[in-house]
Structure 1
């Protein structure tokens, strides 16, 4: 009787939700905060785009399209002009003005305890001139060909509403007032976010009355929730379940090649690194990861094709550089990285480690499908060449904070961007807080030769010359094994065929902006 009553109550709730045009999503990644300027992470960026808007954004084909700005132009090499839409208001009725853009730029570097700052998005901005309430001119300290692309990451807040707002104010909902298609209803940390349609949205009316996004880190639990009808859409579809779910007539799979790379970041700069010992557990007299031959050996120890074929069931592609094929400016015709155990062992011996050593590598559990299993496969490859490796997986927020504190010898994560030069600038450019270079360079890698080429690429307005410079910088970084790229991600969502369609995002964004009711 209890089971019958529960089933009846659930069916009634589900029927009511559908009648009210409610979309329910199970998402694998838990956001680290609701402050749109706190953490430049996909999970945060995706969710907060429902409530807040940038001036421009990427669509799912990789084009930059208008959002709060209806138009923009390059005035000269160091000046961009943006024209805001007329009549845009924040959810409480406060009008949007050009001064709000200037305020948002100024706030980016001031958000405390950020594990990944947005400040680098405005690193070249030297001034903002308010021409009128809807027009602003952005001056830059050097030519900035990617400024419009950088603007896609900056959510615009209101000076009047958010001048004194803290990250805690966003988490409690007090400051969750944006210009977006949906208004904030509630947020429970680690559990769910609820939003509702903004009736005064500046664009086309959002198709859903209400949206509930539940954070479900367990892949099996997400699939079970979908199959039971408890949710309409899930992300992070387990790679081994894609074929099975595709064969289910109730389910539709929405997939795309992503703009992200799963990679390992070795500590190649410190004289001593944590989690590295000899085979008896004693600290080594030097950090073996400082030697490029060791880094190359570890890269060659990874069976990338095997990981993609067996662990990811073909849902990905082996990586040969730090930018997927869909990303602009990547190095052309770079050879695949061989899986060569004999050569890897020889390189270790040349570097003075013929017997190898011991190491622990770290990574997230629930950041992308199969992440923990991929890390185990990498460890097995390392062990095969004599680097006996253990794995420790942690919650994503813990991985990011500890990696920022330089707690690891090597960790695995991902980075996503539509522009190869931005990926290099964010992750492997020499870290410099003053110039806001390398904000995600958590291992403090530094290569002056690469920096010089990348710096020129970042200020070259000519596309052909810029792409050539970016490719050169990419080749320098990859030859030096600044990071160890493993595979390019493929993002998949699964939805109830009768309920929802999803415009799969290469940025692997999960939110209601990409979802429409099934016709």
Structure 2
């Protein structure tokens, strides 16, 4: 990872004289992902959080080196097991001049669980907050219903809104631009859904001056189109660099590559609950009367038939690593000593016979197209491996927004997705814990997986302030998940950006954030 010191603001420290190098024309970025909505509390995705994080701000910033840094909060401390105290920056204002006040924090935290129709809510990050106490104009205390050891990390994606400006703001208001008033280093200019977002420098920003006077984000979902736009000079920077273009870009003196190992895991989730489940058939094409995915031996067979090493080496040109558990290697609370997940088609066939599926069966696997580089190709490789093992597999990919809304509605039985976070405990809390609307856990557990052997230690870990004990409990839960294969991890992503060498430098984000904050003039 690139490690660069931050100033008091969220910007990277610039070398002396960098202000003189500021460009007259805007930074133009070609992005693979399309925002699913401009309300910063609507959908927790990397694309949304990164783009909206230029306009709105959080209390705490997760830096690209993995450390927590001040943003709207200058400092924070534990008062007791149920209380966190945050000291705020004085004099911060929203883009229209409205002052940012501690009451706005209470409003923002109360608003998060009230946003309707979220395909991926932020609720678990705020659910433990019982009350926000305004101590004085620069001090707030969060009183929680249980010990919340990860609280500063939990809130790195909770953007602050104004109780005066946003009291009745809807998703439509944000998409239309009416609600796009934050405290961030960039101000909203325009948004054309599915096409582009434009922002301009906030001259009244409380922190370091933004390095670009304007920034334009063009949504180029086609990988070839992004690379072509960069080579033609139509954009200065692209994300989701196509793997097949990395050798060419490395040999092109006009292009600079910016890469980092991510904290993102790609995974497959099978439906282990419904009986029967949709999109599964016998060899004659008739719907199955029982769900084979409920048998752990079938899930083991699915895992054994995934050629993880081949996917990373040949399909992704070495950009990434085969997964051996749900949590990425850089997460501090993952299990350190799990073996690699083997590839063994013969053993997969034997397990299917043991489970009573000697003749195999058919299934459809669903996933997004263009969510990560090569996702559709990855699914084809998985399908080929499963077909060789005796499970005839058909791949169906959809635009990300369509896929995630339908997956959340449980229209599918086997889904492919990714998840990004800064702790293994949070990955499991969000994706693998038994979904519980009362506590907010499991919002991304789209197929309603449930495993008491995971839930029990993880519930305790999430309220344990002692780090060693908490890590041990988290690792116990991860071992239970890995053994049961309720989530089948595939690979850990490596994030790549490419830019015009004479125009831009980029600090690559393990969270896969693409925005103008992380870009500086060459």
Q: Same fold (TM over 0.5)?
A: yes
Change (3 A) 1:351 1:73: same
How does the TM-score come out when normalised to structure 1? 0.96
2:125 counterpart of 1:124: no
Structure 1 residue 295 displacement after superposition: 0.5
- Deviation string, structure 1 residues 75-98 (Cα, Å, up to 9, x no partner): 011100011101000000000000
* Structure 2 partner of 1:355: 359
Structure 1 residue 21 displacement after superposition: 3.3
Are the equivalent residues in 1 in contact too, given 2:31–2:218 (CA < 8 A)?
A: yes
How does the TM-score come out when normalised to structure 2? 0.95
Q: In 2, Cα distance between the equivalents of 1:211 and 1:169?
A: 22
Structure 1 residue 151 displacement after superposition: 1.2
Q: In 2, Cα distance between the equivalents of 1:205 and 1:169?
A: 28
* Structure 1 partner of 2:417: 413
* Structure 2 partner of 1:238: 242
Which of 180, 200, 203 pairs up with 1:176?
180
Q: In 1, Cα distance between the equivalents of 2:206 and 2:383?
A: 50
Gaps of 5+ in 1: 1-17
Q: In 2, Cα distance between the equivalents of 1:406 and 1:369?
A: 25
Which of 427, 434, 439 pairs up with 1:430?
434
Q: In 2, Cα distance between the equivalents of 1:68 and 1:272?
A: 50
Gaps of 5+ in 2: 1-21
Structure 1 residue 170 displacement after superposition: 0.3
Q: In 2, Cα distance between the equivalents of 1:247 and 1:123?
A: 49
2:262 counterpart of 1:261: no
Moved over 6 A (4+): none
Tell me, what secondary structure is at the counterpart of 2:92? coil
Q: In 2, Cα distance between the equivalents of 1:172 and 1:154?
A: 21
Tell me, what secondary structure is at the counterpart of 1:96? coil
Are the equivalent residues in 1 in contact too, given 2:255–2:500 (CA < 8 A)?
A: yes
2:110 counterpart of 1:110: no
* Structure 2 partner of 1:481: 485
2:209 counterpart of 1:205: yes
* Structure 2 partner of 1:11: none
Q: In 1, Cα distance between the equivalents of 2:186 and 2:392?
A: 50
Which of 151, 155, 163 pairs up with 1:147?
151
Structure 1 residue 465 displacement after superposition: 1.0
- Deviation string, structure 1 residues 204-248 (Cα, Å, up to 9, x no partner): 000000000000000000000000000000000011111110110
Structure 1 residue 287 displacement after superposition: 0.5
- Deviation string, structure 1 residues 36-76 (Cα, Å, up to 9, x no partner): 00000111011000000000010000001000001111101
Q: In 1, Cα distance between the equivalents of 2:137 and 2:41?
A: 23
* Structure 2 partner of 1:493: 497
Q: In 1, Cα distance between the equivalents of 2:237 and 2:295?
A: 46
Tell me, what secondary structure is at the counterpart of 1:388? strand
- Deviation string, structure 1 residues 144-196 (Cα, Å, up to 9, x no partner): 10000011010000000000000100000000000000000000000000000
2:217 counterpart of 1:186: no
Which of 301, 312, 318 pairs up with 1:314?
318
2:456 counterpart of 1:448: no
Aligned residue pairs, count: 501
Tell me, what secondary structure is at the counterpart of 2:218? strand
2:329 counterpart of 1:331: no
Q: In 1, Cα distance between the equivalents of 2:206 and 2:80?
A: 30
Tell me, what secondary structure is at the counterpart of 2:288? coil
Q: In 1, Cα distance between the equivalents of 2:293 and 2:411?
A: 15
Q: In 2, Cα distance between the equivalents of 1:43 and 1:405?
A: 22
Are the equivalent residues in 1 in contact too, given 2:281–2:288 (CA < 8 A)?
A: yes
Structure 1 residue 450 displacement after superposition: 1.0
Structure 1 residue 355 displacement after superposition: 1.1
Which of 202, 226, 233 pairs up with 1:229?
233
Structure 1 residue 19 displacement after superposition: 5.6
Q: In 2, Cα distance between the equivalents of 1:45 and 1:19?
A: 26
